[in-house]
Amino acid sequence: MLTYSFSDRGHESLYEYLYQCIRRDIIHGTLSPGDRLPSKRSFAKHLNVSTITIENAYAQLLAEGYIDSVPKKGYYVADISWDMQKTESPAEAGSPPAQNNGFAHASPGTAKEECFADFSSSQTHPDTFPFSIWAKLLREVIADSRAALMENPPSGGILPLRQAISGYLRQFRGMDVAPEQIIVGAGTEYLYGLLIQLLGHGKIYGVEDPGYQKVFWIIQGSQAACRHIPLDGHGIRIDCLEQSGAEIVHISPSHHFPTGIIMPISRRCHLLGWAAKDDSRYIIEDDYDSEFRFMGRPIPSLQSIDSLGKVIYMNTFAKTLASTVRISYMVLPMHLIQRFYREMGYYACTVSNFEQYTLTRFLQGGHFERHINRMRNLYHSQRDLLLGCLRDSPLASRISITEEDAGLHFLMEVDTDAPNAAIMERAKAQGLRLAPLSQYYRQGCPAKEHTFLMNYSSIHPERMQEAISRLCRVFEGLPLAEGGSK
């Protein structure tokens, strides 16, 4: 049986150390595709650890696609080879999260209409922003850095902020990124615009279907061609990507929006293989909410396993800090960053120096890390509160919940025959906003007609019970689906 010594474990938890040992053996080929892993109980006894430790390690490997689970048989090492010819079998989506970016489709100058609870928005709740510490750091910056505040930064942003982001990525995402590779900008939308200019308007871009619609709009708005690429249960389908003629593909592999699929390592490798086939091919990795995974370790980024300079990594502080503080960043491969400064160095950085320096201190002082931990706990308990309210409600028998382990939303499928439009209308009358999963599909939602994204980040805990009571009234009297209830 597999044997690992825990003597070199250091500060890591048992499960995490074990996960890394097995992962390393799979990557190095010591464990081959198809190899069966020991059963949890026997492996636990063998290594003299608890079953929970084994369970957690397996769950992490499973989530990242290093192993497969065959019901009633056990766990098997997955095929993570770089073979790109492997056929992808379309399957049901695996697991889901959310990125609304909470923008308002406002008519000129008007405020949003009154709404009791907005399950469609992932806008940050005002109470969660670290106002005191932010104000304190701002004061310090204004007191200490007057000259620096007035100096025009390079296009990519002030160097100390890029250094702090580089350090953060190294520590929390295991990414080895030079500060010079980072470009800071006022929102990912703005960065997409820069990127399209850099990569070329004449290129064909591919986006996930379902996916984050705004990316499609921005690419189309920039007059570049954009294709929708369908997913299977492992993420974007490489065969469809090949057929589409797309040269650049935008994905969120660590936590797909809105389905929550975590792209397994095999698909990631296929995707890198796809990119390697042509110089003009690139992958844009949107890692928008990797910080909010409730179970296990964060999923490693695609960028961190890319040795060919094919991945452009994007992330934002809009989710982790506040959507109204407009700071996002992207990491470009070295050859692209050089081209950026050569061809587009005339663009001024769009983020105010005041906020760049404040965020730098926020990162340097460990405040960001503490804030993320607080937020993760908060969202975790928000999720539990919402799940609890649903479980105790009359709806409980009509709904099934999936993808509740990460991000700021889960998926709720409701057993009903009523059309989504009618449900949305009834929700509106109750002061609720709902986002049906189907609205994120371009080419028709394969199933899950009555599945809704349930964002919980913006809903005040005191309103949760009442919000769910109203939700029950939305579905009250609506017919069940033919074929009966759950």
Residue 113 is classified by DSSP as P
Interacting residues of 371 by C-beta distance below 8 A, sequence separation 6+: 130, 320, 321, 362
Amino acid, single-letter form, for residue 191 = L
Distance linking the first and last C-alpha atoms of the chain = 42
- Shortest distance (Å) from residue 325 CB to a second copy: 5
Nearer to a second copy, 24 or 201 (CB): 201
Considering beta carbons, is residue 179 or 365 the nearer one to a second copy? 179
Q: Which is nearer to a second copy, 109 or 477 (CB)?
A: 109
Which one-letter DSSP state was computed for residue 396? Answer: G
Euclidean distance between CA atoms 333 and 358, whole angstroms: 27
337 membership: H or E segment, kind and range? helix 334-344
CB 224 within 8 A of CB 202: yes
**Token output for 451:** 């599945």
Q: Which is nearer to a second copy, 129 or 294 (CB)?
A: 129
Q: How far is the CB of 384 from a second copy (least distance, A)?
A: 23
Q: Is 20 helix (H, G, I), strand (E, B) or coil?
A: helix
Q: Which is nearer to a second copy, 125 or 376 (CB)?
A: 125
Q: Which is nearer to a second copy, 88 or 355 (CB)?
A: 355
With respect to a second copy, which residue has the nearer C-beta, 125 or 380?
A: 125
Give 3-state DSSP helix, strand, coil % of the chain, rounded to 5: 40, 15, 45
Residue 145, phi then psi, degrees to nearest 5: -125, 40
Smallest gap from residue 191 Cβ to a second copy (A): 11
Residue 398: which of 279, 486, 316, 317 has the closest Cα? Answer: 486
Contacts of 49-52 with CB under 8 Å at 24 or more apart are: 49/6, 49/14, 49/18, 52/15
Closest alpha carbon to 468 in 413, 365, 396, 408: 396
Which residues, listed in sequence order, are joined to residue 250 by a DSSP beta bridge? 207, 284
State which amino acid sits at residue 389: C
Residue corresponding to tokens 């049901």:
92
Quote the least distance from Cβ 31 to a second copy, whole Å: 40
Cβ at position 187, least distance to a second copy in Å: 6
For the CB of residue 178, give the shortest distance to a second copy in the complex, in Å: 8
> For residue 378, how many other CB atoms are within 10 A of its CB?
16
CB 129 to a second copy: min, Å: 6
**Minimal distance in Å, beta carbon 471 to a second copy?**
23
Judged by beta carbon, residue 41 or residue 146, the one nearer a second copy is: 146
Q: Give the amino acid at 486.
A: K
The nearest distance, CB 92 to a second copy, in angstroms, is 29
Nearest to a second copy of 201, 277 (CB atom) = 201
